[in-house]
Structure 1
């Protein structure tokens, strides 16, 4: 059955490549086929696996193109999301959809499943503005890929000079290639090659190409059971194929199989989406605690809350509960990946968010007015929301060799943890600037709150710059081990030093009489975060260097940087005018 399936796909490819050369590139109508001379293919059954077989399928291990061993559930979710831009496409479970692509390629080749959102790309493809998905067949004009020349032109263009259309085009081209790989089974490496010293696993095509052996015969038999069962919807045969495949994995691939705990952790992370869901409870905690802060200011003279005050208790319960859930999810990601989750932009952001929440809890335990926990809940929400953007890939990947060091846990934890404290200091400074707008002789409690926040802000900034300094020094030790030098004026190293100097200057204003004012410290703490943003985002994504997550040429500065800068300047100027011309 497997051989017939592969032959069918080969025939499908040949059919697509021999279509009339004058056929227009347009969205394909899978119900009324006018572009091809073959008979329509029946639609596959929705979610055909069944609950038990789906669970078995999800827990199978596979090897991805980077060599990472992961549950098949992870592969199905990642691929279906990349292609359709939906967690659930037209009611399909990700696993059923992924396996249906493999077993019914002739149908899905004609079906509009490739997400297209950008208007310019729709115009290039010749589809209507209302179109949301296009078929793979609509991208072929005779034996030509209709986007081949625009893609080549986009690749020739330096990254920073690419238009938005070219960027979207390259993403769509990647989507098409991933889908093509899913249709022919090239991304489904389920079978460990017996005796391979590199512990390589192969896909269905690779098994068929292997010479006869006990391993190859058993693998082909397992494949035949699985594929014939999937195509016929035969649940017992599907189960037999899955169990035979699992047995082969444990016999020939045991050396690289993830532990049962790691698989369970990753499966839970896939289904629970903890980092996305916890943003809502953090946001609720922010709303309650900020209300509690201003309520205390208006009704209680800004005094600390007793720990059992209903309003304060509700806010702190939400905040601490969110923090514990966030921490548990982070630990499970550590278990699933087998390393500290600190190696890419997404993982560093969820750790910075965690450090921010911990910083808020530490200082809230001493202050008990709702300010520290409240603003840290807000910042944590923002950081996690940024991590959910399409810019950041949440997929767990293997470590690059230079990061495979115990220094990753030490240096990166300390230096990114400092960003959480400095971010908390920025929002506390911003909150103090807002209080300056309320300056009034009839509000002595506001003046007292400003002075208390000033003292709190100083302690937060001292902690943050201390961690940043230690982390930078530890980074020098790691750099010496990795590259043979302690300091090389790499953009990351340079901007870390700049950030230390910026905050050291802000903290030393306290010993300059004319600068020893709450407004000055609040402004410095609030605006100083710009150097942190540059150190993290600017270096990692807009400059080239050893520490950069970006590849190739640096890209242009996004518009949100300018908008955020203008808003910050607006608050600083307004608070200065209020402090300058109003009296207590």
Structure 2
């Protein structure tokens, strides 16, 4: 009996040893993959995409690493006897996805087919990793009937590319068309719109055949989505248990404490239109940035680019714009161009504000000419970049004075399209003499009236111009609702108001929390009656402050929602197309989460105000373009909107885990400091508060991982629908995957025992947030790539 027990004990010890060794292998391979992918993004930056794919992403050893991680993880899961079905399903889903990737790599083929109008072909070209091209044949023929570039009405901004084709094999003939985000599947082959010839008589279609990989990969995605959602609703799961934890209220209660820590006078102003007339001129439509919009939008953008604000010395943006148009010499002497601090400013001894003429010496020699030329030749240091920025603003003034920006005259071409012309544009012969004269001479007539202050006649001419636009602009004219939305959007500086409002209230709330904590400490030291009275007063005040903070948060949320709705209405697409809009969406999600979770602990509103204020501030001061433009055709997909919005939600949640981690570290340091001062052990209350913050962080972490995973793989589905490739190893994609893998480590706390410790967990979370910063900001401003918003 004793021998049997000893033998059994030896087997158990051997298994435990193997388990420990296997765990180390998994950890090593996992870390190695993360490091290799991070290195690969910088390798791609210094070399090229093709080299990165050949050397790293497409190499055999990289695939072996993924296979080794999957196989060792399966063995480990079997050995530990994982019993929760949704966790098994979650890990199995990743294995299925990897199998789908292997099937795609092994059995699929991709290529390109060039077609000319009226001609049929069944051959396509595959380009190998060695750059060699191989010609293959499809099991059917493709004939290009017509190719069309569809523009947004009245502009040269492309709305879609469409190839109308005929497919036939044996006795089967099918008419179809391929466009952006609209693929055609025929006999197992997927056809995508890829490129077109300059004469628009030919096009290039991308060819993709993946009979096995797509089916298996989509099954993996489906299993993943089901298991991720169940992870949040499983009764015995960590997330649900964290919601029930009695430490939640304590976590919120301590967070607040832990977060402590012009122009000259108006004399000699230049001439311009009276404000009411300038406002009426601002309602005239103009083709600006390949979008038909009120001239008010052009005026605001023009004025902001010059002086950093939408007004100048009490003048509205419309008055500034019209001043440069009709009193160009006066305004060219006006010190309106804001000069940022830098080496160029010091070298040329420029004041804070310069006029356009300050950059021209006697004899009209351009002072920045040599610097701009050196910039174009590749000298892109900060000195030359600043010269280029100033040159851009001077060129903008020059284009306006030459009338090139004033594309206010719509006219239908012979081809039936509506094109908008500036008064100095060369008009086609199809424009009759009457309209040609009107377009060429209207601004000259207005200028004559301006010289004699005949503003009544100018107003009549502006009214006539608007009628001309309505008659000739047709479908290119924005709807009345879009115009009203844009004028409201232009009239209210939403972002500026909201970031000031949110940060101010966040700091006031922080001060209130600190005050309440100091009152609590005072009550603890007071006699019994004083103690009860102080606590009662504090509780009443807290209830009032909580109600008011929720009201103000809701008000801010409504205003931010209105801002996003206005941008959506103006552009016609969900506002997720650039860095500025995604920052607004992150702030929106932070506020939404704060409002929906405040009932458990009202102090979460403090998080909402500070974080949303920070994100709005970043969108306000960072190098992000708030201009509303038409979205690229390939980006016009509901899958993309879902992908970006879900990813932004995950970043908002991860930012809250970061705040919890920072709070815990500050609390820990405060406890150590108190221990040293009082020469006694750290009070249990500190450890309890740090543990409470860990529970709170879990509440944010699990939904963050779920939304990040869903966002990444919805993006993969969209990419496959758009151009037949799930994953292109773009730096943004890679760093999003790295972020997911890094944060996924902390939910394996049963296998990684040190992460059960509250401080170890918080330190890891704080460091992990660096991957979020790298994904959003580092890729945008350092690595670049097709996902870069910078």
TM-score tier after normalising by the smaller chain length: 0.7 to 0.9
Aligned equivalents of 1:527 and 1:214: distance in 2? 69
Deviation of the 1:92 alpha carbon: 2.2
- The residue aligned with 2:65 is none
Aligned equivalents of 1:538 and 1:326: distance in 2? 26
Q: Secondary structure at the match of 2:630?
A: coil
- The residue aligned with 1:120 is 343
1:204 to 417, 423, 426: 423
Q: Secondary structure at the match of 2:631?
A: coil
1:530 to 770, 773, 776: 770
Q: Which has the larger radius of gyration?
A: 2
- The residue aligned with 1:379 is 611
Aligned equivalents of 2:589 and 2:456: distance in 1? 49
8 Å CA contact 2:278, 2:322 repeated in 1: no
1:331 aligns with 2:573: no
Deviation of the 1:46 alpha carbon: 4.2
- The residue aligned with 2:582 is 348
1:433 aligns with 2:665: yes
1:54 aligns with 2:54: no
Deviation of the 1:139 alpha carbon: 2.1
- The residue aligned with 1:216 is 436
Distance 1:310 1:444, change over 3 A: farther
Deviation of the 1:488 alpha carbon: 1.9
Aligned equivalents of 2:332 and 2:563: distance in 1? 38
**Unpaired stretches in structure 2, ≥5 consecutive residues:** 1-267, 522-534, 675-680
Distance 1:381 1:109, change over 3 A: same
- The residue aligned with 2:455 is 235
Distance 1:541 1:381, change over 3 A: same
Distance 1:139 1:507, change over 3 A: farther
Deviation of the 1:446 alpha carbon: 4.3
- The residue aligned with 1:76 is 299
8 Å CA contact 1:46, 1:92 repeated in 2: no
1:364 to 576, 598, 601: 598
- The residue aligned with 1:553 is none
Aligned equivalents of 1:300 and 1:414: distance in 2? 40
8 Å CA contact 1:411, 1:475 repeated in 2: yes
Deviation of the 1:269 alpha carbon: 1.9
8 Å CA contact 1:290, 1:375 repeated in 2: no
State the TM-score, normalized to the length of structure 2: 0.59
Q: After alignment, is 374-383 or 292-301 more displaced?
A: 292-301
Aligned equivalents of 2:585 and 2:612: distance in 1? 10
Deviation of the 1:282 alpha carbon: 1.0
Aligned equivalents of 1:232 and 1:45: distance in 2? 16
More strand by share: 2
Aligned equivalents of 1:96 and 1:542: distance in 2? 39
8 Å CA contact 1:480, 1:486 repeated in 2: yes
Aligned equivalents of 1:194 and 1:207: distance in 2? 15
8 Å CA contact 1:430, 1:526 repeated in 2: yes
8 Å CA contact 1:219, 1:245 repeated in 2: no
Query: Which residues in structure 2 correspond to 1:3-18 (within 5 Å)?
Result: none
8 Å CA contact 1:199, 1:253 repeated in 2: yes
2:696 to 428, 448, 456: 456
Aligned equivalents of 2:315 and 2:292: distance in 1? 25
What are the superposed Cα offsets for residues 430-467 of structure 1, whole Å, 9 maximum, x if unpaired?
Answer: 12222223336685554443333221110101111110
1:309 to 543, 551, 556: 543
Aligned equivalents of 1:491 and 1:319: distance in 2? 36
Deviation of the 1:285 alpha carbon: 2.8
Distance 1:406 1:326, change over 3 A: same
Q: Secondary structure at the match of 2:726?
A: coil
Q: Secondary structure at the match of 1:70?
A: strand
Aligned equivalents of 1:428 and 1:131: distance in 2? 42
